[in-house]
Amino acid sequence: MKYTLLFVLVLATSLLKAQPNCNIYKEDADCFEACMLLTKATDMLQGSQQQQVSFNKAIALCPQFHQAYYEKAWAFLKNGRFIEWRSIIDQAVELRPQEYLGYRAVARYQYLRDYQGALDDFALLDELVNYDLGNTVEGNYHLNIIRALCYKGLGAVDEAIEVILQQLQQSDHVLGNYDYIHLGVLYLEANQTALAVDYLEKQVAHNPYIADSFFYLAKAYVQNGEKGKAKTNLKKAKELYQAGEKRSHFYNEPMDAVYWRDMEELASML
Amino acid sequence: MLSIRLIHFFLCLLLFTACQSQESPKEEVLSMTGFIPHDDEADDPNFTLCQAGYTYPYYYFDINRKRDKIDLANYLKEQLKYSFDADFTGYLTLRFLMNCEGKLGRFRSEAMNTQWQAVEVEAQYWKDMEQALLSYPNWVLGEYEGKTYDYNYYVSLKIETGKIKEILP
């Protein structure tokens, strides 16, 4: 039953894309038709030939219809056809840089671990907008947290910490489910154990539903010489992991993902 | 009850679209962006698919959540121990199909440099990468409710000055 629901969820997320408001194209018959085509196409199986044909028709009718490029590009990205993805999404970025640069940055980070490329996109976006960048398409992260994780990917731990702290201080920041995990792990990497413990305790309080929270807290306690607390948290992490309650993703591996062998390794230190 | 109906609706839509009309051009409808058509000259003639003319994307079977990413990554790193061209920075991507019996085939290679351009690399890289993928023992089948299906997948090596930095996805 669990996998049935997952199966349906993937399908649903593939099918249920944001529907464009076609009324804004009413003055232009071709673009209106392109928009209607896109609306129908987003209900088709993502990546199917039928859907791609519809996207191509929409683009031919209305070459400035940025959403058609955006939607068309998805299937190429998810299936490892990166050169084609880039050539398609670049057309959306060219038409609406303020709308798609953030998306392209996140995709480069998430699907290609192209940290520098993502940071370059964020820098371009910074020049264009002065409002809050908002969250990723999936909603799990604020874009500035992704920016910080790109610094981490490049080994710039201090910059990564600074960017996350700045974002957390924003009065309108909605705390993400994993923000404190990444900050805590960064402090672990920077050997600032007390701060790591502090933020990972906050993480456990905020999100006690995943193994990742407890595993990293256990690791921080080990680093802090508190083996008793480490054991308790590692036990909880293992229980959650075995119940399948851990961060994972349909398309790629999350940053700071936790594996069973990490837990075994930590257990051997206790 | 509603959720059960919804599940049935989506499953019918996904798995049995082709069954709705015997006259519909199935390949036209279902051929996916990740699908790789057979090439007589390049592909192993013994590699066959259980479905005709289409494969499902890997994520329909939750492959990336069921697999052990580190296990595959460690295996590939062990098998590909040599240095790639020290001048090369970019991605080496192999797309391929996994059939319902767990066999791999129809490999398609693409090397991309940091300018996102296709480039040529030594043919031996692809042979070794393909061999490593073929010999990996822990692939996850495209399984759903006791039946297995063909799916398409890819593995990409992120290379920096000849060294593997990441294994994707």
Write down the ipTM of this complex.
Answer: 0.88
Buried/exposed code over A247-261 (b: 16+ C-beta within 10 A; e: otherwise) = bbebbbbbbbebbee
| pLDDT of A19 strictly over 90 | no
B17 touches chain A (CB under 8 A): yes
Which chain A residues touch B2 with a CB distance below 8 Å? none
| pLDDT of A3 strictly over 80 | no
Between A12, A49, A250, which is nearest B64 by CB? Answer: A250
Is the CB of A81 less than 8 angstroms away from the CB of B33? yes
Question: A52-82, pLDDT tens digit by residue?
Answer: 999 999 999 999 999 999 999 999 999 999 9
Is the CB of B156 less than 8 angstroms away from the CB of A80? yes
pLDDT at res. A152: 98
Question: B10-22, pLDDT tens digit by residue?
Answer: 444 444 343 333 3
Q: Considering only A154-168, B13-27, B96-110, which range has the smallest mean pLDDT?
A: B13-27
- A192 to chain B, closest Cα gap in Å: 26
A252 touches chain B (CB under 8 A): yes
- B29 to chain A, closest Cα gap in Å: 5
| pLDDT of A202 strictly over 90 | yes
Cβ atoms within 10 Å of A183's Cβ, excluding its own:
25
Question: Over chain B, what is the mean pLDDT?
Answer: 84
A83 touches chain B (CB under 8 A): yes
CA A40 to chain centre: 27
Question: B115-169, pLDDT tens digit by residue?
Answer: 999 999 999 999 999 999 999 999 999 999 999 999 999 999 999 999 999 999 9
B69 touches chain A (CB under 8 A): yes
Q: Taking a C-beta distance cutoff of 8 angstroms, is the pair A247, A258 a contact?
A: yes
User: Checking phi first, is residue B85 left (phi over 0); if not, alpha (psi -120 to 50) or beta?
Assistant: beta
Q: Give the DSSP H/E element, type plus range, for residue A29.
A: helix A29-41
Question: Over chain A, what is the mean pLDDT?
Answer: 92
pTM score of the predicted model: 0.88
Between B7, B29, B70, which is nearest A259 by CB? Answer: B70
Q: How confident is the model at residue B25 (pLDDT cuts 50, 70, 90)?
A: very low
Is the CB of B112 less than 8 angstroms away from the CB of A82? yes
Cis before B169 (ω within 30):
yes
Q: How confident is the model at residue A18 (pLDDT cuts 50, 70, 90)?
A: low
